[in-house]
Structure 1
Amino acid sequence: MAAVPAFFGLFLLAVVTGQVVDITPQQAVRRVGEDLIVTCKVNYQAEACRMIVGQTSYLLRPGNQDGDVIYHGPGLDKGVCGMHIRRVKEEWNGNISCMIPPPRGSIELQATMRLIVAHAPELPVLIGPQQTTFHEGDRFEAQCVVARGRPAATIKWFLDDEALLGSELHEPSTEGESTSDLVTVRQNVTRVLRADDSGRRLTCRSEHEALEQYREASRQLQVHYPPKRVDADGNQLTIFGLKIGDQGRLNVTVRSNPPPSVEWTVGDQVLVAPNQNGDGTITAMPPVPLGNGFYNLTLILARVAKEDVERTYFLRAVNDLGREEVAVRISTMDEPAAGPQRSGVELDTGAIVGIVVGVLALLVAVFLVVFAKATDRWCFAGRSHHTDIPDGADSEAPLPPHDDIKGAENPSHDHEYISNGKHPEKKPDTAV
């Protein structure tokens, strides 16, 4: 309880005299053996400078530069009480205080900073489900524990080289030891597993000031899922570039875990891979693993015939979790420019004929409209013709015959009669 009046007296003295000790830094983290500089400043000439580090009090003088703790700064006459710790020790973890006498009185002014001596944590521990395999869509939860570090370690999560961020990560929690300031940190991760996660490595990485490099704990994920197409959308695939008379290879890539069983349907024949038809002209090859759950499924035609181009081949890939069915067509045309095997709709003969007939009908309609307009026929018949009527003529006089009206494109001028490419003299208007 005696400390309470002393602290109150120190606080009162600082308020009355307006003297405050400014200490820099307020907190520092250092490894054992590293150096640290702490500076205290007042706005008057200091007569003495004392620092308390751990359980030891150091009286610092500018001229004394021997030992692990020495004076640092421009001088006491500048109001600077500075300390340079050349080699930090483990036992110095805690508060460091500087003590400076006031201009008047005997109670020293004091300021305190926090020194955290970094202590390497234990190896990270990854805690997760005991099962070794999961299904696509399963909710996977794991926890990373990094114990007894000072300060608390930083935890980062990765799937292979991809950092996990956002809602998949929970806020880390810490638990400290009051006697040693050592801290244990825990963090959980939750992820809905996808097919792409199969074979990837989930890693908990621990980073800390006392470590030269990070430490890791990890486990590999095994995710099971039904076969699925990877090279195109939809359930139809067209393979281009085959030639009549040559060998034809129908290649389809799927993802599957566990591996798929494969069968091909060609007309009324069903071939379960690996197998071939009776005369050996069609062979269903066994699935070829490409790694990471990818498989190449191949049907070989010994010799491509015209009827082969006209038929559809049906592929079925099956495992314990489901199946994928694909209708495969082949084409002797060159492969489209964009990408490898593409799925799409290949126009048959009927569709091509329909397009050609539609274009021809449109051209005929346009021609008829132009012809009717040019010859004043059909819907363009009865268009009014403007002719010159002599002055004083009866307004009900008949118009000249149609065959006599030529060159009437400009009705505002007198009619000119053209014969053999020459313009004869204009005939005078006569009364009817």
Structure 2
Amino acid sequence: MRAAGSGGHRPGGAAALAAAGIVALLCVAGGARGQEVQAENVTVVEGGQAEINCRLHQYDGSIVVIQNPSRQTLFFNGTRALKDERFQLVEFTQKQVRIVLSNARLEDEGGYFCQLYTDDTHHQIAILTVLVPPENPLVEVKEQAVEGGEIELTCIVPRSRPAAKLRWLRDRKVLTGISSKQENGKVFSITDVLRFQVDRKDHGSIVTCEATHPALRGQQKQTQYVLDVQFSPTARIRPPQGVMREGDTLLLTCAVNGNPPPTKITWSRANDSLPERALIEGDTLTIPSLSMLDNGTYSCHVANKHGRSSDQYVLVVYDPGAIVEAQTSVPYAIVGGILALLVFLVICVLIVMVWCSIRQKGSYLTHEASGLDEHGEAREAFLNGGDGHKRKEEFFI
């Protein structure tokens, strides 16, 4: 006996896969003729097409029988024996017997017998393996996610063989879930559960469940889930630009954010009612022909089932001839104060530097004067005959 080769014709079409290996055992018919038969293992995707090859060596015309895993005869010397049109004999020569199986099913999986009848009956077995690729994963959410709470996502692949592998992705980062597997006959059901905390910034972001499987040939099956996180609303009034004067039109917009979105926006004025000519359209409050009687604090109020929010705008209406600094001058006042502080700090640093310089110079002159006095006294004592009782005078500059 010798090892079988790995050659052989591969079936066309995207559904068929290459031979996965070759059975090592070769059967040799007795006698000097040395007839041999070889069979190749085959892997196919469910619903695809598979080839079952029986290679003949030194074939002398003996009987060749092909049987399915249930030991039912498919072909007897080239003649169909089983009425299953999915099996077609496409080649019968002195070198090879080739059968094509279309629309492969899980029940087709098993060992196919290539039998050569001589003085003794010998056979070779081709193992057919059927893969079941996963469909797109199903992503389910346990309950509505709310800001500050936890979300639980479940990814399910109900049918695959062998079992598919699942993983979660978010912003190209892999998230770790808890995986479980259940066997249903020849196929597997895979489930992966992911839990994590959510905030309002997570609303609208995408989480992906990805399935990999040998039958996908390096590709993946993916399902994306858009996070739906509910949170309390926020309100912000967009104020008008510049100063409001008598006769102008006030236009205030209440920008709202919340999930679920607030269905109603309410406008009010502190300690007073809205002007009769005020017009409310959705998130906008309009007051035409302003007067000083319209002065006050205006507010917009919003709410959803998770909370409430409001914002205020103080309206000051000026006389048309009044000279008033625009509201945009406020930041310049802040900048001016910062610059004044910097100038003050620089002046303080200069004062300290000058003071230190004067101190150092005074100390130097004091030591220098002291040295001159000592030399002067010695000179005077020498000229006056060594009178050393004269009081020493000190000078401080």
Using structure 2 for the length normalisation, give the TM-score: 0.50
Task: Name which of 353, 365, 374 aligns with 1:384.
Answer: 365
Task: Name which of 51, 56, 62 aligns with 1:60.
Answer: 56
Matched, 1:186 2:190: yes
Supply the distance in 1 between the matched residues of 2:261 and 2:292 (Cα, whole angstroms): 34
Shift of 1:88: 4.1
Task: Name which of 304, 308, 315 aligns with 1:323.
Answer: 308
Matched, 1:256 2:258: yes
Instruction: Tell me the equivalent position of 1:93.
Output: 109
Supply the distance in 1 between the matched residues of 2:156 and 2:101 (Cα, whole angstroms): 31
Supply the distance in 2 between the matched residues of 1:255 and 1:29 (Cα, whole angstroms): 59
Instruction: Tell me the equivalent position of 2:383.
Output: none
Instruction: Tell me the equivalent position of 1:333.
Output: 328
- Across the two proteins, how many residue pairs are aligned to each other? 316
Task: Name which of 122, 135, 140 aligns with 2:152.
Answer: 140
Which structure carries more strand by proportion? Answer: 2
Percent identity reads 17
Contact preservation (8 Å) 1:157, 1:163 = no
When residues 216 and 48 of structure 1 are mapped into structure 2, their CA distance, relative to the original with a 3 A threshold, is same
Contact preservation (8 Å) 1:120, 1:210 = yes
RMSD of aligned alpha carbons: 6.3
Supply the distance in 1 between the matched residues of 2:332 and 2:54 (Cα, whole angstroms): 97
Contact preservation (8 Å) 1:155, 1:204 = yes
Superposed counterparts of 1:352-363, under 5 Å? 355=338, 358-359=341-342, 361-363=344-346
Supply the distance in 2 between the matched residues of 1:278 and 1:94 (Cα, whole angstroms): 87
Contact preservation (8 Å) 2:5, 2:22 = yes
When residues 118 and 369 of structure 1 are mapped into structure 2, their CA distance, relative to the original with a 3 A threshold, is closer
Task: Name which of 36, 55, 68 aligns with 1:48.
Answer: 36
When residues 190 and 57 of structure 1 are mapped into structure 2, their CA distance, relative to the original with a 3 A threshold, is closer
Superposed counterparts of 1:249-328, under 5 Å? 249-251=251-253, 253-260=255-262, 261-264=264-267, 267-269=270-272, 277-278=274-275, 280=277, 285-287=281-283, 298-300=284-286, 314-326=299-311
Instruction: Tell me the equivalent position of 2:65.
Output: none
Instruction: Tell me the equivalent position of 2:16.
Output: 34
Name the SS for the 1:394 alignment partner: helix
Superposed counterparts of 1:71-90, under 5 Å? 87-89=100-102, 90=104
Q: Give CA deviations for 1:148-194 in whole Å, capped at 9, x if unaligned.
A: x44445667789xx789523x331413142xxxx3031314344565
Supply the distance in 2 between the matched residues of 1:365 and 1:307 (Cα, whole angstroms): 50
Matched, 1:225 2:231: yes
Contact preservation (8 Å) 1:33, 1:88 = no
Q: Which amino acid aligns with 1:49?
A: V
Q: Could you tell me which runs of 5 or more consecutive residues in structure 1 were left unpaired when the two chains were aligned.
A: 1-18, 76-82, 101-105, 230-235, 271-276, 288-297, 335-345, 403-432
Instruction: Tell me the equivalent position of 1:175.
Output: 183
Contact preservation (8 Å) 2:239, 2:252 = yes
Supply the distance in 1 between the matched residues of 2:112 and 2:183 (Cα, whole angstroms): 24
Q: Could you tell me which runs of 5 or more consecutive residues in structure 2 were left unpaired when the two chains were aligned.
A: 29-33, 43-51, 62-77, 79-88, 316-325, 381-392
Matched, 1:166 2:175: yes
Supply the distance in 2 between the matched residues of 1:32 and 1:153 (Cα, whole angstroms): 20
Q: Which amino acid aligns with 1:146?
A: P
Q: Which amino acid aligns with 2:265?
A: V
Instruction: Tell me the equivalent position of 1:117.
Output: 130
Shift of 1:60: 1.7
Supply the distance in 1 between the matched residues of 2:363 and 2:53 (Cα, whole angstroms): 122
Using structure 1 for the length normalisation, give the TM-score: 0.47
Q: Give CA deviations for 1:236-266 in whole Å, capped at 9, x if unaligned.
A: 9886854555656554543223332434565
